Amino acid sequence: MNHGALKTKILELPYIENQDEFQKTYELIQKSLTEKKFLKGSHYLEEMWKIREKWARAYLPWRFTGGTRTTSRAEAINSLIKQYVSSKNEVSDFINFISSFEKNQFMIISK
């Protein structure tokens, strides 16, 4: 497997939903890393294999999360804040933004 294909397989691995397909892809990646003597990558992948239930879609229990995982909820909030507040703003601008955001959320919930 060439370098580009290997990279693509690695990036796709967390999103595979079928456990058998995940297992086969993992083994293919591991074999390719070992053949190319990428021992650090191979060791890292082995360590990640041990905790795959925390990050691999195929092993996560199905629960609607709107696409959020672990820290992505906090990252989404940070991204939202960065859209409306910059380092050029004053603290009062940030407080006003948060207040209006909370009011909008309350209005959505109460409807």
Instruction: Tell me the per-residue pLDDT of 29-82, one tens digit each, with 9 for 90 and over.
Output: 999 998 888 888 888 888 888 888 878 888 776 655 555 555 666 777 777 777
Task: Answer whether residue 37 is part of any domain.
Answer: yes
Same-domain pairing of 77 and 105: yes
Residue 14 makes CB contacts below 8 A (sequence gap 6+) with: 55, 56, 57
Same-domain pairing of 53 and 78: no
Lowest mean pLDDT among 23-27, 41-45, 57-61, 106-110: 106-110
* Contact predicate 85/94, CB 8 Å: yes
Same-domain pairing of 52 and 89: no
Domain that holds residue 103: 72-110
Task: Answer whether residue 40 is part of any domain.
Answer: yes
pLDDT for 29: 92
Task: Answer whether residue 20 is part of any domain.
Answer: yes
Cα end-to-end distance, the chain, whole Å: 54
Average pLDDT for residues 79-95, to the nearest whole number? 75
* Contact predicate 32/1, CB 8 Å: yes
Same-domain pairing of 39 and 7: yes
For the CA atoms of the chain, what is the radius of gyration? 21
pTM as predicted: 0.52
Same-domain pairing of 9 and 50: yes
Same-domain pairing of 48 and 14: yes
Task: Answer whether residue 66 is part of any domain.
Answer: no
Residue 8 has pLDDT above 80, yes or no: yes
Task: Answer whether residue 12 is part of any domain.
Answer: yes
* Count of domains forming the chain: 2
Task: Answer whether residue 65 is part of any domain.
Answer: no
* Contact predicate 42/30, CB 8 Å: yes
Residue 70 makes CB contacts below 8 A (sequence gap 6+) with: 54
